[in-house]
Chain A
Amino acid sequence: MPVDQATVRRIAHLARIKLPEAEVPHLASELNAILAFVEELSTVDVAGVEPMTSVMPMRMKQRPDVVTDGDIADQIVANAPASEDHFFVVPKVVE
């Protein structure tokens, strides 16, 4: 059982997902089931194998370093749950 209840709480916090205490044991067992399923991978010999970084070999393209977009503040905040004068509004972060 690689994932105990304390680990579940820590992962939930890292993922910024509030987890009701009552769900912790159940989620721990589900995560352990998934991790048991992937456990088989530890038996594969991967010595000298490069990890994949790009599934299709291609040169990363470059473009001129110029502004190609902008002046659309109205559109950018249009879907915000709370905004004021083209700013996103959040609870106070600094005391």
Chain B
Amino acid sequence: MTDLTELSLAAARDALVKKEVSAVELARAHIAAIEQARVLNCFIAETPDKALAMAGESDARLRRGQARPLEGIPLGIKDLYCTKGVTTTAASHILENFVPPYESTVTANLWRDGAVMLGKLNLDEFAMGSSNETSYFGPVISPWRRPGSNMKLVPGGSSGGSAAAVAARLCYGATATDTGGSIRQPAAFTGTVGIKPTYGRCSRWGIVAFASSLDQAGPIARTVRDAAILLQSMAGHDPKDATSVDRPVPDYAAAVGTSIKGKVIGIPKEYRLDGMPAEIDRLWGEGVAWLKAAGAKIVEISLPHTRYALPAYYIVAPAEASSNLARYDGVRYGLRVPGKDVIDLYENTRAAGFGKEVRRRIMIGTYVLSAGYYDAYYVRAQKIRTLIKRDFETAFAEGVDAILTPATPSAAFGLGEKGAADPVEMYLNDVFTVTVNMAGLPGIAVPAGTSSEGLPLALQLIGRAFEEETLFALASVIEQAAPKLQLPLRWWA
């Protein structure tokens, strides 16, 4: 085998079981690739010693014929997941030196199944951003470039480190989280596959909270099958998260490649935005044609409250963030900046510890929850959320199995290109993804083509609650039908 890092997760797993390669060899290949890719700034913490120790244990199990589902597979972990004994920063100065004494449930599930940890991946600070430019540890640089240009592009966000590391072959897959599009948008920008499962499918316990009614964990991987394999291990009931759902986890990988004949796919007319680039519209049309050719039935549907989803999100998410982030007080953990009294200590600590975007969102959240504004903003936004969810329920009740939309309104943009003058410009990136979080539904982004500039573009499929299997089946049809995406050459190595 020439380059082990080029394998898919599924292929690496087969090679391990057939003893064609050892887990330690896989870990070493990735550790070397990560060292060569530091210019991309994907990792906040590299854990090569831990990776080699875990891989050694995996090799012992493989020798004994006791391989677990992810035995010896090296993964990256978004630095929002608490990892016992390994710094967990949420890409914030305020948690720069935080070392959790416990393990998040989702990562514990991955280690239970034999996966190997390569390190902690960069993200937007507290997962607030769509370009990975708000990280205290600096932006992630996308492995993608426009042909003939060396301009630095963003990988998307907030799971920018996860998406970039997977696209750059620094790990076979990565954990990510999605509050308004933070798995699907970076997956779309980097030509990778990202699924946000149904709310409640993965435990949120031990994941640094942003907006608890919207946050959901999920994987980013290079193929639909790899994403299915990872979700299989990540998902499951957890008594420690009261919103985690107690229902069996299906065999997601078995759904990949199954027939979609007769599936009804809704095309929501409200997603056809004014001024949408022609190439996005064309990509969407190709997706329709591919699904139709595979036997799906295409119907036009209406989701009338779509346009209100993003504004309502920018009330609900900051409101929950302002409550969740109240815990960073400079007393129990994290940064402390002294003050003349305890209030002064809080105010100094939070001013120094939070970056600009986080401070802005806490302020908005505090405002919409404050006396006199709570009903006008927060309660109204939660009512609109009910309407958004009802739109989807109506479509599903009329027989629609899944909904096809573009994943993002454009391909990746340059560093510093968006949101500098007006924060709302950056927020518009999530226009197609945020509705899914508001309704708690599963959504998957799958590569479907390239832009006129040669950058990846993706389509999104939205499913019924807990019907991730349908999404994997449909996404694999698109994956097979779309032109094969060549991942970027290693210009950074």
Contacts and interface: CB of A to CB of B under 8 A. Distances in A.
Interface of A: 3, 7-8, 11-19, 27, 30-31, 33-35, 37-42, 44, 46, 49-56, 58, 60-61, 63, 72, 75-76, 78-82, 88, 90-93
A72 B387 contact: no
Given A11-B363, A31-B367, A38-B377, A16 B346 contact: yes
B386 interface: yes
Contacts of A56: 198-200, 243, 245, 440, 465
B298 to A, nearest CB: 28
Nearest to A49: B383
Contact of A46 (B198, B245, B339, B383): B383
A15 B322 contact: yes
12 contacts: A27-B360, A41-B315, A44-B387, A46-B380, A49-B383, A49-B387, A52-B385, A55-B389, A79-B101, A80-B333, A88-B331, A91-B342
Contacts of B329: 16
The 6 closest A-B pairs by CB, nearest first: A55-B440, A81-B336, A51-B382, A79-B333, A18-B347, A75-B101
Contacts of A7: 367
B239 A63 contact: yes
Interface string B318-347: 000010001001111111101111111111
A14 B340 CA distance: 18
B433 to A, nearest CB: 15
Contact residues of A: prevailing secondary structure: loop
A34 B439 contact: no
A15 B386 contact: no
Q: Which of A8, A16, A81 has the most CB of B within 10 A?
A: A16
Contacts of B15: none
Report which residue of A3, A58, A60, A72 has the largest number of chain B beta carbons within 10 angstroms of its beta carbon.
A58
A41 B380 contact: yes
B342 A90 contact: yes
B350 A15 contact: yes
B366 interface: yes
Contact of B423 (A8, A11, A33, A51): A33
Nearest to A36: B424
Contacts of A72: 101
Interface in B380-426: 380-387, 389, 422-424
A80 B331 contact: yes
Contacts of A79: 97-99, 101, 332-334
A41 B384 contact: yes
Contacts of A33: 422-424
B334 A81 contact: yes
B354 interface: yes
A20 B466 CA distance: 47
Contacts of B380: 41-42, 44, 46
Nearest to B359: A17
Given A15-B322, A38-B315, A51-B383, 11 more contacts: A12-B363, A16-B329, A17-B350, A34-B423, A37-B311, A41-B380, A52-B382, A79-B99, A91-B338, A91-B345, A93-B341
Nearest to B318: A34
Interface in B243-283: 243, 245-246
A79 B267 CA distance: 50
B381 A41 contact: yes
Contacts of A52: 213, 382-383, 385-386, 389
A63 to B, nearest CB: 7
A93 to B, nearest CB: 5
A85 to B, nearest CB: 16
Nearest to A60: B242
